[in-house]
Each structure stands twice: as C-alpha cells, then as structure tokens.
Amino acid sequence: MKIGLVRHFKVDCPHKGLYSGEQFDKWSYEYDYSEVFKKKVDLKGIDWETCYSSDLKRAIETAQYAYGGEITMSPLLREVPANKFTNKNIKLPVDLWLLMARQSWKKSSSFQKETYQDTINRIDEIFTEIIKSNRNTLVFCHGFLILQIRKYLLSKGFKGNRIIKAQNGKMYLFEKE
C-alpha cells in the first residue's frame, strides 16, 4: 500500500514586518481564503486508487489541479489552527507567531483552538479508514499536519521520506508491504 502526502500549492498571502496578536489572527484567516500559485505536481506515475483532500480552499484547488479524479474532502485533514499565543501587546514577525503558536498547541494552551490530542485523534480517525481500505491513496493537506501524519504513518509500520518542512506542491511517499 502507498500513501502520497501532498502539501497544497504556495498561497498568495504575503507577510512583512511585525504583527500584533490580533493582526496575526487576521492574517491567519486571510491565508485560508487566499489564491494559490499552481504548478505541476509529480505524482510519480503511481496508480492512485483513491484521493482525499482537506476541505480548505487551497488544498481543494491543489487536488483538483494535480489529480483530476474523484476527491473525497474532509475537515479531518485541515491544518492545525494557529492562533496568537498571548494577549500581551507585542509585535512579532509572522514566522515567530507561527512557531510560538505551534509550541502552545503542543502544550494544549487555551489560546489554541485545537489541542495536540485533538489533532492526533482526527489523524487517527481518517487514517484508520485509509489504511483499512488497503488502496493506494493520495492525500492533499497542509504542511504542519503532514509532519504529524508522517509520525503517525511511521508508527503504523510505513516507511517514507524524512520531512523537515513540507514543500508546497511536493508529494511525500509512504509505503507498507
């Protein structure tokens, strides 16, 4: 069985300078609804029997452009939400807000909409179904979520790529005999 994980295309939602917590939350919201830059995706010539996608716009558009077949959309494949991690009046670059939001998510901070365990539970829910099907499955989702899915698949006996930061529009292949 093969599972291909593809991060959505690059999003046209630039960020420059320093942002307050409220500005970061607004930028995160805008990111969810911005346009993407389309490009060719190498699906490695594999016969993909099923395809799943996050139900967020950027993942759907990537899946439709790259795959072309029937796509099952699921909120279980949405990105881990990233929200401000403090109410203090500070300004930081977006990348630092994201890093700190991920740290507070890992600690299940009340500032984050989803806890670490919530994320693991939804990955388990959808990938139990995918693995049970024993079909070559293509999954279009999001960068940080891909890192969590990778850990999950390795724990289930899959072998696959090492990923430091998932690249936009690139497929990461995982296989299990």
Tokens of 135: 């079909």
Number of independent structural domains in the chain: 1
Domain that holds residue 41: 2-175
Q: What pLDDT, in 10s, does the model give residues 79-130? A: 999 888 888 999 999 999 999 999 999 888 888 889 899 999 999 999 999 9
The CATH number given to whatever domain includes residue 134 is 3.40.50.1240
pTM listed for this prediction: 0.94
- Answer yes or no: are the C-beta atoms of 82 and 105 closer than 8 Å: yes
pLDDT band at 70, cuts 50/70/90? very high
Number of CB atoms found within 10 A of residue 157's CB: 10
Residues 6+ apart with CB under 8 A from 27: 13, 15, 19, 94
Give the pair of three-digit tokens for residue 171. 């497929």
